[in-house]
């Protein structure tokens, strides 16, 4: 619970910074009005800018309130548990098995077998159930960009990439690690985009929705593995 509270506080701070940055950009734009000769036009321009700032402020407050909700925190936890458990399974496969998995992503019976073999069905169902609980919040009133921003601001994946670094590594190794960490973060962002695409394309809780999540998890694990392989190749030069 302490770790969850720390993560919540850290992510909440990140959201505050992000919201402040947006407000700062809007605030700076006040001095950049398109001036018009008619003074009434200037008043109208200022009123429109003030209204836009107020609306943006409300949207930021909405995002922050959702990020603090129990429903959202439960959803995040279930999301990470699902991706992490599938990643552990994917890492255990040999090259031949990974190729076979890649070739059968459109085979529903094969995916069903893999879901059972990898023991991720429980995590998959928990994630979908947790997402359904988000209906008790304003989560689904967010636009696609706001939903992606909300999840990408979560610190878990970023924190994990930092843990991969080795203490005392030289400049070359650090550069390689930076490349790897950026690639893993890109893989995390890709997984978020894929998850959002699944939510937009399929009704929650359907078989097609679950299979779509499975494919998103596979893409994340594959991209993460490729990033690690690139790192090993980089430090081996």
Q: pLDDT by residue (tens digit) across 208-226?
A: 988 999 999 999 899 889 8
Q: What angle is formed at CA 24 by the lines to CA 48 and CA 71, rounded to 5 degrees?
A: 95
User: Crossing angle for the helix pair 144-152 and 171-201, nearest 10 degrees?
Assistant: 140
Q: Residue 165: is its pLDDT beyond 80?
A: no
Q: How confident is the model at residue 20 (pLDDT cuts 50, 70, 90)?
A: very low
Q: What percent of the chain has a predicted confidence (pLDDT) above 90?
A: 22
Instruction: List pLDDT tens digits, range 105-129.
Output: 999 999 999 999 999 999 999 988 9
**Token pair 């609980």 is at which residue?**
133
Taken in order 200, 204, 207, 212, is the CA torsion positive or negative? positive
Q: What is the mean pLDDT of residues 136-162?
A: 67
Residue 23's pLDDT is 44
Lowest mean pLDDT across 14-18, 37-41, 201-205: 14-18
Instruction: Kindly state the tokens that stand for 152.
Output: 């990408």
Residue 52's pLDDT is 60
Q: Residue 95: is its pLDDT beyond 50?
A: yes
Task: Evaluate if pTM is beyond 0.85.
Answer: no
Residue 32's pLDDT is 40
Q: Residue 100: is its pLDDT beyond 90?
A: yes
Q: Residue 77: is its pLDDT beyond 70?
A: yes
152 vs 98, higher pLDDT: 98
Residue 194's pLDDT is 86
């Amino acid at each position: 619970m302490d770790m969850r509270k720390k993560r919540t506080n850290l992510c909440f701070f990140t959201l505050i910074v992000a919201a402040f940055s947006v407000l700062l950009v809007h605030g700076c734009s006040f001095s950049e009005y398109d001036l018009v000769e008619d003074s009434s036009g200037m008043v109208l321009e200022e009123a429109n800018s003030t209204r836009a700032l107020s609306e943006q402020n409300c949207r930021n407050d909405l995002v922050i309130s959702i990020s603090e909700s129990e429903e959202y925190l439960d959803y995040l936890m279930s999301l990470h548990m699902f991706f992490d458990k599938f990643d552990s399974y994917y890492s255990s496969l040999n090259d031949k098995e990974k190729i076979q998995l890649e070739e059968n992503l459109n085979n529903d019976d094969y995916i069903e077998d893999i879901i059972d073999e990898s023991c991720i069905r429980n995590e998959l169902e928990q994630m979908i159930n947790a997402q359904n609980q988000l209906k008790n919040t304003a989560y689904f009133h967010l636009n696609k960009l706001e939903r992606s921003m909300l999840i990408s601001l979560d610190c878990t994946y970023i924190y994990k990439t930092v843990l991969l670094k080795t203490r005392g590594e030289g400049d070359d190794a650090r550069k390689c690690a930076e490349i790897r960490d950026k690639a893993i973060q890109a893989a995390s962002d890709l997984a978020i985009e894929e998850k959002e695409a699944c939510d937009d394309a399929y009704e929650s809780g359907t078989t097609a929705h679950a299979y779509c999540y499975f494919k998103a998890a596979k893409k994340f694990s594959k991209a993460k593995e490729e990033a690690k392989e690139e790192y090993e190749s980089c430090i081996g030069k």
